[in-house]
Amino acid sequence: MFRRILIANRGEIALRIIRACKELGVEIVCVYSQADADAPYLDLADRAICIGPGPARESYLDISRIISAAEVAEVDAIHPGYGFLAENAEFAAICKDCKIEFIGPSPQAMGILGDKVQAKRTAKQAKVPIFPGSDGEVEEEDEAVEIAAKIGYPVIIKASAGGGGRGMRVCHNEVTLRTALEAARQEAQAAFGNGAVFIEKFLESARHIEVQVLGDKHGHAVHLFERDCSMQRRHQKIIEESPAPGVDRKKIDTICIAATRLIKAANYAGAATVEFLMDDRQNFYMLEVNTRVQVEHPVTEMVTGTDILKLSIQIAAGEPLPFKQRDIIHRGHAIECRINAEDANRNFMPCPGRIDTWIAPGGPGVRVDSHIAPGYTVPPYYDSMIGKLIVHADDRQAAIVRAKRALEEFRIGPIKTTINLHQKLMDDPAFVKGGVDIHYLERLLDA
Ligand code: ADP
């Protein structure tokens, strides 16, 4: 096991990694920006190093400052969490050059699965279902038009290096496709430093279902079942749950096994998520692979009794997976509600600022992952998520009851949060029935 780990992240995920390190008996080095100097979790670290001003570009995204801190503190590994540098292959490679273990996949595996075109190619070989579309990058307008004619409109143009829902364009006919292609390429080049784009069939209505997978450095891989993350706004997930309600179990099992095959094919070590869209006939198509731990990993931890963060560290340290596929049992139902510092009545405007009151719920089957304490000021520079409520119960209905009970216990003030929205959703007939599609929340909010 590592002796000392640097956490190249902030907020709730920094605290989550601290908790895993403590239980593994590993020393912790936190880096923080000036805007996070008062973050309560820094007290739990063995050492905290300021790496620059609030804006992420000058701190959490600044590779040289993070590597300098790692060298000064003599750490043997870096955990990137999610966001920031977690999916940056250059950062992973620099860590390697500096003889610091990057807790995540090798730069090669990240290159194969983190790039959408390459991931699709590998998926096709591993017999993972993908959207019909271009076989790799499209360069010529005529080529794009030909493919679109074959698969049928609407189609979507996506950047191979894309992320965060950016750089995608839906085209309903040849005219829009021709004009959008060059624009998409330029946009991708400017945003991601890689102008490669591809096209695939666009599904008007779908559910987002993803599979949690783990691979080790000894060629073993397992899946930890699925999560349904269809409750989204502007491609941002709001609620995640497991199992996916109302989906044929056989179909899901097939997809889970396919996802495991994919990470094996990529020689992938670490935690990853294979994301799929599912159409209304329960056909699955792979969207992309996230080569890191995800925000919603606790949902899976609750239903499988695993600790994905600890496992990510153990795998990086070279330990084999401690279980086989048949040892992993899915139990009950878990739901996660993301608590964001946003005003749902004002178009989800972020509401940074001081939190005077913070009382989090507890009791059976309730977990709150948050770095907040009374007196904490939410800085304006970062994501507005301030915590996650995760509930677990025997079945979905009981989990919803539990979520409502826990949401009611929350006392947060004076800033606005998404708790009210979650309370409404837990009473929403379509959500309670289960199986809403990825545009449901936006339709509900527009109504
Ligand atoms: P990113 O990496 O930018 O998040 P994804 O490939 O994961 O990009 O796509 C983000 C979202 O865009 C999906 O969750 C879905 O809502 C929509 N989307 C992407 N591809 C398709 C598609 N082929 N059909 C329908 N919706 C799509």
80 and 183, same domain (yes or no): no
> DSSP label at 35?
G
Residue 240: inside a domain: yes
CA 241 to chain centre: 13
CA of 229 to the centre of ligand 1 (A): 12
What's the pLDDT score for residue 7?
98
Rounded distance from Cα 287 to ligand 1 centre (Å): 6
Cβ–ligand 1 distance for 210 under 6 Å, the answer: no
Distance between Cα 75 and ligand 1 center (Å): 37
Q: Specify the CATH number for the domain of residue 286.
A: 3.30.470.20
Ligand 1 center to residue 355 CA distance, Å?
34
Cα separation, 262 vs 86, in Å, equals: 20
Asked whether residue 280 falls in the same domain as residue 422, the answer is: yes
- Is 112 inside any structural domain? no
The closest residue, in CA terms, to atom 19 on ligand 1 is 287
Q: Is the domain of 93 the same as that of 235?
A: no
What per-residue confidence (pLDDT) applies to 273? 98
Are residues 91 and 154 both part of a single domain? Answer: no
Judge whether 367 and 302 are in contact, CB under 8 Å.
yes
**CB of 438 sitting under 6 A from ligand 1:** yes
Mutate to test the pocket of ligand 1, among 168, 172, 203, 232 (most ligand atoms within 8 A of CB): 168
120 Cα to the center of ligand 1, angstroms: 13
Query: Are 163 and 215 within one domain?
Result: no
Residue 202 DSSP symbol: P
pLDDT in tens, the chain (447 residues): 999 999 999 999 999 999 999 999 999 999 999 999 999 999 999 999 999 999 999 999 999 999 999 999 999 999 999 999 999 999 999 999 999 999 999 999 999 999 999 999 999 999 999 999 998 999 999 999 999 999 999 999 999 988 877 778 999 999 999 999 999 999 999 988 899 999 999 999 999 999 999 999 999 999 999 999 999 999 899 999 999 999 999 999 999 999 999 999 999 999 999 999 999 999 999 999 999 999 999 999 999 999 999 999 999 999 999 999 999 999 999 999 999 999 999 999 999 999 999 999 999 999 999 999 999 999 999 999 999 999 999 999 999 999 999 999 999 999 999 999 999 999 999 999 999 999 999 999 998
Kindly state the tokens that stand for 25: 């008996």
Domain span including residue 22: 4-103
Q: What single letter denotes the amino acid at residue 332?
A: G
Task: Establish whether residue 414 lines the binding site of ligand 1, counting it when its CB lies within 6 angstroms of any ligand atom.
Answer: no
**Domain end position, chosen among 69, 103, 137:** 103
Q: Is residue 111 part of a domain?
A: no
118, part of any domain: no
- Of 183, 201, 219, the last residue of a domain is 201
Shared domain for 236 and 316, answered yes or no, is yes
For ligand 1, is residue 163 a contact (CB within 6 Å)? yes
- DSSP structure string for 231-296: EEETTEEEEEEESPTT--HHHHHHHHHHHHHHHHHTT--EEEEEEEEE-TT--EEEEEEE-S--TT
Burial class (CB in 10 A: 0-12, 13-18, 19+), 150: exposed
Q: How far apart are the first and last CA of the chain?
A: 53
From the list 292, 338, 367, 396, the catalytic residue is: 292
> Is residue 289 in some structural domain?
yes
The DSSP bridge pattern shows strands 221-233 and 236-242 to be antiparallel
Whether 411 and 279 map to the same domain: the answer is yes
Does one domain contain both 193 and 213? no
* Residue 77 lies inside a defined structural domain of this protein: yes
Q: Are residues 181 and 287 in the same domain?
A: no
438 alpha carbon to ligand 1 midpoint, in Å?
Answer: 10
208: Cβ below 6 Å to ligand 1? yes
Assess whether 86 and 143 both reside in one domain.
no
| 122 within domain boundaries | no
Report DSSP state, residue 319: P
Count up the domains in the chain and report the number. 3
> What pTM did the predictor assign?
0.97
Q: Which of 151, 232, 235, 276 to mutate to test the pocket of ligand 1 (most atoms within 8 A of CB)?
A: 235
What one-letter code names the amino acid at 179? T
| Cβ–ligand 1 contact at 132 (below 6 Å) | no
Q: Please, are residues 389 and 370 in contact by the beta-carbon 8 Å criterion?
A: no
Q: Is the dihedral of CA 193, 81, 326, 323 positive or negative?
A: positive
Question: Cβ distance 52 to 59 under 8 Å?
Answer: yes
User: Which ranges of 42-105 would DSSP assign to H, the alpha helix?
Assistant: 63-72, 89-97
CATH of the domain at 44: 3.40.50.20
**Domain check: are 169 and 237 in the same one?**
no
Does any domain span residue 110?
A: no
Instruction: Establish whether 292 is a catalytic residue.
Output: yes
pLDDT of residue 57: 96
The last residue of a domain, from among 86, 103, 120: 103
Q: Quick check: 80 and 9 in contact, CB under 8 A?
A: yes
Residues 137, 163 within the same domain: yes
